[in-house]
Amino acid sequence: MKKFFLLFLALGAVAFAGESMIKAYSVVAAGVGLGLAALGGAIGMGHTTAATIAGTARNPGLGAKLMTTMFIALAMIEAQVIYTLVIALIALYANPFIG
């Protein structure tokens, strides 16, 4: 409970923070956001690849079709990570929170 209080206190400080504090929080948020997006993307890609390998092992005749579907799924997963990168770059260079 004490950790949540400190977290809310730190986030509440943003309301009264100057421009340099908002920039610092933006850098931290961009780093954490990209880290979580990369972690989620890596886990998703691992599950997709493992399922494709298992499907090909069960039915080798569908290997080409499964591989095509896997590459489409990997592109969709990677697109979400790239969207997070774009949002992080906006937060860093065109920060909407700075007046």
For residue 17, pLDDT over 80 is answered with: no
Virtual torsion, Cα 65, 67, 47, 87, nearest 10 deg: -110
Structure confidence at residue 15 (pLDDT): 66
> pLDDT tens for residues 25-36?
888 888 899 999
Structure confidence at residue 91 (pLDDT): 85
pTM score, whole prediction:
0.73
> pLDDT tens for residues 21-73?
778 888 888 889 999 999 999 999 999 999 999 999 999 999 999 999 999 99
Name all domains of the chain by residue range, CATH numbers in brackets: 18-93 (1.20.20.10)
* Token pair belonging to 5: 């209080």
* DSSP type of residue 95: -
